[in-house]
Structure 1
Amino acid sequence: MKKHLLAALVATGLTAPLVQADTILGVYAGIEGWQSQTTGSFAQGNNLETFDFEDETLTSFYVALEHPIPLVPNIKIKHNELEVVGSTTLTEGFKFGDTVFQVNSEAGTVSDLSHNDYVLYYEIFDNDLLSIDLGFNIKDIDGSISVSGTDGVATITEEESFSAYVPLGYAAAEVGIPMTDFSVFFEGSLLAIDDSKIQDFQVGVAWEVIDNMAVDVAVKFGYRSLVMELDDVDDISTDLEVKGPFMGVQVHF
C-alpha cells in the first residue's frame, strides 16, 4: 500500500449532507494528555518483530472551524504525538536497514509515528441534546523507526523513515445529559483495505465548566485506542495498538 495509492482513495469522497446545522461561526481548540500503553510489532518487509514498549504520556492538540456555509465542510486539524520506546531479546535474526541484528541479542527501538489529522466533516445534527458529524479524515503520517543492537561485531543503530497520506471515514457524536452540564461523546476514524487497517477512536464524558456568551470551556476525559496496521508503506510494516485513558480541555469561542 503505497502513499500515492492511499491518497487516491480520497476521490471516493462523501455525498453532501441534508442538513448543515451551524448558524454562526465557531472556533474550537483543545489539548489532551493520553496515558498510553503500546503493544505490537514492526518490520522492514514482512518479518515482524514484537517489542516490549514503555508506557508513555502523549499529547494531542487540535483546532476546528465550524461555519454556516451550505455544502462547504467544516474542518478540524489535530496533531498527535506518538513516539514510543521499546526493547526485546531477539529470538531470530532481525533485518532492519542494512543490518541483520544478531539472534539472542538485546535490541531497542524508538518508534516515532506522530502524525496530523485533517478532518473535513458536516454537521448532520447540532443541538444541546444531540450532535452528529460525518466526514472523512486524512491522516498525514511522516514517521521514523530506529533500531539499536549488535550485528555480532559492533553496536549499530539503523533508522528508516516512511510517509503516507491515509484517508479514513470519520464520525463523531455527542449526547447531552438533561438537567446537567455533562455529555457523553464518541469520535472515530476507520480505514480497512487489503492487509492494512487504521482504527482511531475515543469515547468519554465532557463537563462544561464555563458556559457564557463569550466562551465555553469543557473538561473531557475518557478512553482512546489507536490501531495502526500498515502493510508495506515505504517498505515498513506495523502491527501496533496504542490505548489508554486521556484527559483534556476544550475551549469554544
Structure 2
Amino acid sequence: MKKTAITLGVIALCSSLSSQADTLLGLYAGAQGWNMETTGGFSDDGDNRDFNFDTQTNTNIYVALEHPIPLIPNIKLQRADMNTEGDVNFDSNFEFNDQLFSANSDAYTQVDLTATDIILYYEFFDNDLISFDFGINAKYLEGEFIVTEKDEPNRTETLDFSVPIPMLYSRLALGIPFTGFGAYVEGSYLSLDDNTLSDYQAVITYSLIENLAIDVTFQVGYRAVTLELDYSDNNNDIYSDLEFKGPFAGLEVHF
C-alpha cells in the first residue's frame, strides 16, 4: 500500500514539474504563407497615385520566448516580406526621384518591403481559456519603391528607405475547452502627426499535436497592414498610403 502511494506521489510530482516547466519557460516558433493584396501608392512629394498591384504570396516567420522573471518582458521577433509589383497609366505628370513620368505614359511599379518586429510584452492573463498580452513593438521597415517606364526600361527610379516605428502591441487569445480549437486577435498601432500605421490579424487555431514534449498548432486567419507615411530618411522624403491585406495559413510549434 505504501509503495503504491509513493508511486502515485512520484507520478503526480513529475506531472506537476512538467506542467510547471512549461509555465516557467516557453519557446514558440511559427511560419505563415500570406496571400497578400496591395492597394494605394507612394511618392516622394506627397502626390501619391493609386497603382495597380498584383496579388502576391509572401512569408511571415516569428519566434517568441516567454519566462516567469518579474518585471522583465517576454520577447517576440517577427519578420514579414511584403513584396509586390504592378503597373499604372499616369493620368497626369508624375515626378518621382527627380524623374518626370509624363501624362498617359505606362510604368511598372514595385514595392520591395521587409518588416521586422521586436516586440516586448507582459502577460496579464495566461490560461487555457483566456490570455492577454500588452507591450510595445519596435517595428523596422526597410525596402525600395521603384518606378520603371515601360517604353524606356532604362528609365528606372529607385527610392531606398528604412523607417523605425515605435508601436503599441496587444494580443487576446481564447480557447474552447475539449475541442482543440482556439482564436486570437493580435495587433500593433501608431498614430503620430501625419503617420498612421497599423498591423492587425485575426486567427483561428487548431491543435494538431499536444503532449509534454511539443505542441503543434495549425493557423488560418486574415491580416491587414496599413502604412500611411510622411517621413524623411537620409535626405529622402517618403510618402505612402499603402494597405496590404489578405488571408494566411501557417503552423506554430511550441517547445
- Which TM-score applies when normalising by structure 2? 0.88
Q: Distance in 1 between matches of 2:35 and 2:67?
A: 33
Give me the whole-angstrom Cα distance separating, in 1, the residues matched to 2:55 and 2:223.
14
Q: Any idea what SS the aligned residue of 1:85 has?
A: strand
Quote how far apart the aligned CAs of 1:41 are.
1.2
| SS in structure 2 at match of 1:69 | coil
Partner of 2:205: 206
Alpha-carbon distance in structure 1 between the residues aligned to 2:194 and 2:35: 28
Instruction: For 2:41 and 2:111, locate their aligned partners in 1 and report how far apart those are by CA, in whole Å.
Output: 11
Question: What does 1:23-38 correspond to in 2, within 5 Å?
Answer: 23-38=23-38
For residue 53 of structure 1, what is the aligned residue in structure 2? 53
The Cα shift of 1:23 comes to 3.8
Q: Which runs of 5+ in 2 are unaligned?
A: 1-21
Larger radius of gyration: 2
- How far 1:232 sits from its partner (Å)? 2.7
State the shift of 1:44 in Å. Answer: 0.8
Instruction: Quote the sequence identity (%).
Output: 45
Q: State the AA in 1 paired with 2:221.
A: G
Q: Distance in 1 between matches of 2:146 and 2:243?
A: 18
Equivalents in 2 of 1:37, 1:219: separation in Å?
A: 23
Distance 2:128 2:45 in 1: 49
Measured in 2, the distance between the counterparts of 1:173 and 1:232 equals 31
Match of 2:16 in 1: none
Cα 1:32–1:100 shift into 2, 3 Å: same
Residue 154 of structure 1 and its aligned partner are, at CA, apart by 7.5
1:188 match: 187
**From 219, 241, 244, the counterpart of 1:242:** 244
1:226 aligns with 2:252: no
C-alpha distance in structure 1 between counterparts of 2:38 and 2:153, whole Å: 29
Matched residues in 2 for 1:75 and 1:179: separation?
29
Alpha-carbon distance change, 93 to 125 in structure 1, aligned in 2, over 3 angstroms: same
| Higher relative contact order (CA closer than 8 Å, sequence separation 6+) | 1
- 1:124-159: per-residue Cα shift (whole Å, max 9, x none)? 100000110000111111111111017x98840010
Paired residues of 1:61 and 1:79 also in contact (CA < 8 A)? yes
CA distance in 1, matches of 2:232, 2:126: 38
- Judge conservation of contact 1:188–1:202 (CA < 8 Å) in 2: yes
Name the residue aligned to 1:165: 164
1:139 aligns with 139
Q: Which whole-Å CA distance do the structure 1 matches of 2:215 and 2:204 have between them?
A: 16
| Equivalent position amino acid for 2:132 in 1 | I
Gaps of 5+ in 1: 1-21
Q: 2:93 & 2:56 partners in 1: Cα distance?
A: 28
Matches within 5 A, 1:62-211: 62-149=62-149, 155-211=154-210
Moved runs in structure 1, 4+ residues, more than 6 A?
A: none
Higher helix share goes to which structure?
A: 2
The root-mean-square deviation of aligned C-alpha atoms, in Å, is 1.4
